[in-house]
Chain A
Amino acid sequence: MTIDLKTTSIDPVRRTFDHIAEKIGPDKNATRYQEAVWGLQPILNQHYRPTWDPSKTLYDTSRTVVVMEDFDDLIDPRQYYYGTWTIRRGKQQDSQENNFNFVESRRLMESVEAVWLDKIRRIVLPLRHVAWAANINNSYIAAYGFGGPVTSAAAFQMMDHLGIAQYITRIGLILADNDAGILADTKSLWVENAMWQLLRALMEEAMVTKDWFELHVLQNFLIDGMLYPLVFDRFDRVVTEHTGAAYSMMNEFTVEWFAEASRWVDGVMKRAVQESNENKVHIQRWVTAWTPRVQDALKPIADAAFEEEGGNAIDEISDLLTTRADKIGLDI
């Protein structure tokens, strides 16, 4: 006797929400990411205009000159929504915490030569203020941007920058044996020392940039795109060569984060450039206008870090950015 096994398959009536199916087609399975970020943006029934800007509705596509047929197309290639992002950051936090404990419990920073400790203090610690400005700038993008994918990713970027500011603070406290005085000294460097003033002026200008997409290009592409390779790659390498491997351990998250966040930054810009030639012209205009400002602002920091090699370092990191711009479809 043969037994014939039969399976009955029941086709689901629908595979995903209707507004997702409208975008990807009814026969495709949606990813968690798509279901989490698409269609989040409130569009209808905004009865009152904000008293602080009655020329626009509360959520308005015209807060940037970039025009998208659908702002939901500005997706994050990392596919982060709240769940995936927190799980990933939670893991990274554990590992970062272990690194700090390792360095602290074995007092590894004591074996770093004094001249390099001083350089870390002067060149890296003031970046906690830069990271805070970046936090504010991304908070602006999250608040005034349009579309769930780009604003939620900007909120993650905002918190990531806050985390980096805290890690830099932690490095400072380890250097000073938990004496918070070092943070006050760092602030006076940031506010008074000539080396930081161009960058401080640039960060403050970024903070009052009204167009959120321009701010994305300026903060996340140009400033981060040159500052992080300069300090957390080039300078990190030099410190490591000079007895500072322990310092480098404490930058593990920052280095990993930069590589990952760049994929989002480039992805959003690339999609906007693809959308229309007008978008490309705007984004190109911002890149052309701000790039020399960022380079000038970073030059004194590169000089302090690498002395006469400073100019070369700026050229090198500008090349990195040119490569990224090429892939996006822009020229620097």
Chain B
Amino acid sequence: MADKVFIALQNNSEAQAIIEAILEDNTNAIANESPGMVKIDCPGRLVVRRETVAEKMGREFDLQEIHINLISIGGNIDETDDEFVLSWNS
């Protein structure tokens, strides 16, 4: 499964906006809901875009805020102010 990256977030109302944003920006991403957690799998590359999350939340969003609700990730991270990208370095 080395071609797949994942991100797991707590399933609460704040993370809901992040989850929605991820599913909108990554068309191949699949969300799996477990009790209290949402794990999103995506082949190749998964991006969290600050702008999309801010729009879903209705307020400014700092990408570092993602860590409050972040449980786990699989993949190498490439982080800027505007994007949080997961992929495997080959």
Contacts and interface: CB of A to CB of B under 8 A. Distances in A.
Contact of A77 (B13, B34, B35, B58): B58
B57 interface: yes
Interface size class of B (residues with CB under 8 A): 10 to 19
B65 to A, nearest CB: 15
Contacts of A7: 34-35
User: Quick one: which of A7, A29, A78 has the most chain B CB within 10 A?
Assistant: A29
A78 B34 contact: no
Nearest to A77: B58
B16 interface: yes
B35 A29 contact: no
A33 interface: yes
A79 B34 CA distance: 27
A51 interface: no
B59 interface: yes
B58 A10 contact: no
Given A29-B16, A31-B16, A78 B35 contact: no
A160 interface: no
Contacts of B57: 79
Interface in B12-40: 13, 16-17, 33-35
Contacts of B13: 31-32
A33 B57 CA distance: 10
Interface residues of A, number: 12
Interface of A is mostly: loop
A10 B35 contact: yes
Contacts of A224: none
Nearest to B33: A9
B16 A78 contact: no
A76 interface: yes
A80 B35 CA distance: 28
Given A9-B34, A33-B58, 13 more contacts: A9-B33, A9-B35, A29-B16, A31-B16, A31-B17, A76-B58, A77-B55, A77-B58, A78-B58, A78-B59, A79-B57, A79-B58, A80-B58
21 contacts: A7-B34, A7-B35, A9-B33, A9-B34, A9-B35, A10-B35, A29-B16, A31-B13, A31-B16, A31-B17, A32-B13, A33-B58, A76-B58, A77-B55, A77-B58, A78-B58, A78-B59, A79-B57, A79-B58, A79-B59, A80-B58
Interface of A: 7, 9-10, 29, 31-33, 76-80
Q: Please name the 5 residue pairs, one residue from A and one from B, whose CB atoms are nearest each other, closest first.
A: A79-B58, A78-B58, A32-B13, A9-B34, A77-B58
